[in-house]
Amino acid sequence: MNTYNVTEIPFNIEAEQCAIGSVMIHNDALRSCSFLKPGDFYRDAHKTMWEAILDLDAHGTAIDFVTLTDWLETRDRLKELPDSFAYISRVAIAIPTAAHA
């Protein structure tokens, strides 16, 4: 008999990475994901990255590897990501196209 923990919220790490990576590839993909808030993400690193993405967008800054890492670095938030720079790179290159954002 299977027992399920009904208090655990369903999540999909790959979908979270898809949203973040899509925006990094093509900033207009953010419009398709505009309903997402940092708290909607399960992984803390993704919450932090999405917060950075929303702030960069609010300030009219292009969102890419350089601007995202700079935002995280200047706010001393890079340490919140596992493997910091490498993790951001993996998320960015894991998505071949932003078409499915």
pTM: 0.84
Q: What is the pLDDT of residue 82?
A: 85
What pLDDT shows up at residue 94? 78
What is the band of 5 on the pLDDT scale with cuts at 50, 70, 90? low
Encoded amino acid at 59, one letter: H
**45-100: pLDDT as tens digits:** 999 999 999 999 999 999 999 999 999 999 999 999 988 889 998 888 877 676 65
Distance CA 59, CA 84 (A): 23
The predicted pLDDT at position 92 comes to 84
**How confident is the model at residue 2, as a pLDDT?**
56
Q: Once rounded to an integer, what is the mean pLDDT over residues 23-35?
A: 92
Alpha-helical regions (H) of the chain: 13-25, 29-32, 44-58, 65-74, 84-93
